[in-house]
Structures are given as structure tokens and as C-alpha cells.
């Protein structure tokens, strides 16, 4: 079962929730992990089970990065706000570097997230 991390900057949280609703049947067959608030919102608004790490500002993205290093993450959806990200929001740079080093796909927009999820679903034998 694919393990996918879900992270979103504050302004992108509604987008990641919308994506999770649209892909709920596929995501329900994945092992999901998320940063604190993003994971909470997805669980509350979709019913999907999301293992919650700490919130991004206090290290949740770093916890997910450690799973990338260990080979436990198959893909990351990190919907970021490239124009108005706030200082308290997780920084994508370190996580992106780890994904590049360990050849783990990361999607940073809704469209790229759809491709990532469809690809993982295809690899796992699910239809998107």
C-alpha cells in the first residue's frame, strides 16, 4: 500500500482538502501521513485516516523528511503558497532536497498532485 504525505501551507489547506475529497476512494487505500493541522482538516472534512505528525512550524515536515530518508514514503503532496507563505509555515527546501536525493516524487500544485496520486494508484492497481 503506498504511503503518501500530505502537507499544505495555510492558504492551500482548502485545496488539499478538496483534492482529498475528489480522491477519497483512492486515498482510502493508501497509508496517509500529514502535518498536524493539514492532517486534522483532511480527517475532519473527509473521514480519511491520516497519521498526524507535529504541525509544520514545530517539525512535522522534518518528521516526514525522516520517513523519506528511511524509505517509508512513496510520494509527497506539498501544496505551498509560492507568493505569500508565512514565516511560521514549513519550508519546502529541505524536504524537496531529501525527495530529490531519495528519488521520491513531490507534487507542489493541485495538478501535479493529481498526476502523482494517479500514478501511485496505477502502480498499486487502483483506478483513480
Residue 38 is labelled as binding a ligand: yes
9 is in an annotated binding site: yes
Selecting among 31, 61, 81, 103, the annotated active-site residue is: 61
CA distance 24 to 40: 15
13 is in an annotated binding site: yes
Tell me, yes or no, if 61 is annotated catalytic: yes
Reported as type and span, the H/E element at residue 113 is helix 110-124
Q: Annotation-wise, does 111 bind a ligand? A: no
Strand order from edge to edge, sheet including 50-52: 50-52, 31-34, 3-8, 75-79, 106-107
Binding-site sequence positions: 9, 13, 35-38, 55-56, 88
* Residues annotated as catalytic (active site), given as ranges: 61
Annotated binding site for substrate: 9, 13, 35-38, 55-56, 88
Amino acid at each position: 500500500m503506498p504511503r503518501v504525505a500530505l502537507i499544505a501551507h495555510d492558504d492551500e489547506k482548502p485545496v488539499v482538502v478538496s483534492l482529498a475529497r475528489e480522491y477519497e476512494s483512492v486515498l482510502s487505500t493508501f497509508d496517509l501521513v500529514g502535518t498536524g493541522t493539514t492532517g486534522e482538516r483532511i480527517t475532519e472534512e473527509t473521514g480519511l485516516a491520516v497519521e498526524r505528525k507535529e504541525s509544520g512550524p514545530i517539525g512535522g515536515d522534518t518528521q516526514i523528511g525522516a520517513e523519506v530518508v528511511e524509505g517509508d514514503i512513496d510520494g509527497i503532496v506539498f501544496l505551498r503558497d509560492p507568493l505569500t507563505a508565512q514565516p511560521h509555515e514549513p519550508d519546502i527546501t529541505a524536504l524537496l532536497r531529501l525527495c530529490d536525493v531519495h528519488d521520491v516524487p513531490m507534487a507542489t500544485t493541485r495538478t501535479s498532485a493529481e498526476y502523482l496520486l494517479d500514478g501511485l494508484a496505477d502502480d498499486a492497481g487502483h483506478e483513480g
